[in-house]
Structure 1
Amino acid sequence: MIVLMSLVKYLSSFNLMLHKVGRNIAWVLVTLMISVILLQVFFRYVLNNALPWPEEAARALMIWMMAVVAGEAYRKGSFVAIDMLILALPDKAASLLKLALYLLAGLVLFKLFTLGIDFFERGFRSRAASIHISRAWIYLAMPVCFFTMLLSNIELVLREIGCLLGKADEYALNFKEK
């Protein structure tokens, strides 16, 4: 039980640090994306001379913005979810169902992470049309996204195991650390 609590604490601390860094990067990326879009609006509608690169740059910035915050959103439960069944079940059954779903999600996330690595490696064979960088650097967002989600998933699995062992008050996510 002590080992499980230690693992949860260390992984939780690491995830919180990673999510804080991701949030800060996301603000910068959103600011850059908005700036690029406004630049394109100015050139297109004021100067009547559209630039060739802002749409692709804004799309790449948006992809990366999503990738750096997805792990935190998953950990907080911020994605759309249908939880009627879990809420209707008794605590132990709900906890077992959540654990099974987390384990299944973990397998999917691991597979997506490995596919994302392959996609990243293949991205070096082509270049983005208008911003002239290797597509691999845009595609790298997917393994980053799935890895941070996988780390959050592992923490959630360990917390759910702790809840099943009868220590729900100790293993439940603290809203202050979300």
Structure 2
Amino acid sequence: MTVPGVPQHQIEDDNETIDLSDIRWHDGLVLFVFWLLFSVVFLQFFTRYVLNDSLGWTEEIARYLLIAVTFIGAVMAVRKEAMIAVEIFYRWMSRPVRRVVQAFVDLVAVVFYGSMAFSCVRLAQRTRQKMVSIEVSKSFVYWGVAICFACMFLLAIWILIKHLRTGTSPLIDPEVPIDASSQSE
């Protein structure tokens, strides 16, 4: 249904608007890994409770797929600037103080993601242990997490630069729509 004044890439459902223009290819990657996780867990359930003979590898693989969903989803959350924040404190601060606090928070995020990427790389390089159920090195899991943290690090740098250049963010100016800060570039 076409509604005058509403962009075609939005869906309206009971006064809630869902913006589909912010979907990227790695959002599909999260969805794919999630469905892979769902399939493995269903296979585990089916073999354990229906066939009464569980497959040994499903529990361990489900654990590693859950880790993958978590960290790929975290990359998506950083890209959308959807990480948690204590917004009540921002309401009590003046706008110049909010800008300084936002820059500090962005800088802390950059340092955190960078240090976690570095730590994961070091851990992956030192890991020689194999998975219990299949003959694959556990370092692949750590390399995957390191790649996700490296992506979050790069995105956090981009977000820091964007907030410094535009002078605004959803926490600095909550009355400005989220898309307005990215459209002013």
Answer yes or no: same fold by TM over 0.5.
yes
Report whether the alignment pairs 1:77 with 2:81. yes
Out of 137, 145, 150, the position equivalent to 2:148 is: 145
Which sits farther off after the overlay, 38-47 or 156-165? 156-165
Do the aligned residues in 2 keep the contact of 1:57 with 1:131 (CA within 8 Å)? no
Q: Which residue number in structure 2 is paired with residue 92 of structure 1?
A: 96
Do the aligned residues in 2 keep the contact of 1:30 with 1:65 (CA within 8 Å)? yes
Deviations 1:107-132 (A, max 9, x none): 12111110011111122x11000122
Out of 155, 167, 172, the position equivalent to 2:181 is: 172
Q: After TM superposition, where is structure 1 displaced by more than 6 Å over at least 4 residues in a row? A: 168-171
Q: Which residue number in structure 2 is paired with residue 68 of structure 1?
A: 72
Post-superposition shift, 1:171? 7.9
Post-superposition shift, 1:98? 0.5
Gaps in structure 2 of 5+ consecutive residues:
1-22
Deviations 1:72-112 (A, max 9, x none): 20232323321211232222210111001111221121111
Report whether the alignment pairs 1:36 with 2:16. no
Quote the Cα distance in structure 1 between the aligned partners of 2:42 and 2:76.
28
Out of 116, 134, 139, the position equivalent to 2:137 is: 134
Q: Which residue number in structure 2 is paired with residue 56 of structure 1?
A: 60
Question: TM-score, normalization: structure 2?
Answer: 0.75
Gaps in structure 1 of 5+ consecutive residues:
1-18
Q: Which residue number in structure 2 is paired with residue 26 of structure 1?
A: 30
Change (3 A) 1:110 1:171: farther
Quote the Cα distance in structure 1 between the aligned partners of 2:49 and 2:167.
60
**Higher helix fraction (1 or 2):** 1
Quote the Cα distance in structure 1 between the aligned partners of 2:163 and 2:180.
7
Question: TM-score, normalization: structure 1?
Answer: 0.77
RMSD, aligned α-carbons = 2.2
Quote the Cα distance in structure 1 between the aligned partners of 2:84 and 2:107.
18
**Higher strand fraction (1 or 2):** 2
Superposed, 1:84-123 pairs within 5 Å as 84-123=88-127
Change (3 A) 1:119 1:23: same
Quote the Cα distance in structure 1 between the aligned partners of 2:90 and 2:75.
22
Aligned pairs, how many?
153
Q: Give the 3-state SS of the residue equivalent to 1:127 in structure 2.
A: coil
Structure ranking higher on relative contact order (CA contacts 8 Å, 6+ apart): 1
Post-superposition shift, 1:20? 2.1
Quote the Cα distance in structure 1 between the aligned partners of 2:42 and 2:123.
31
Identity %: 24
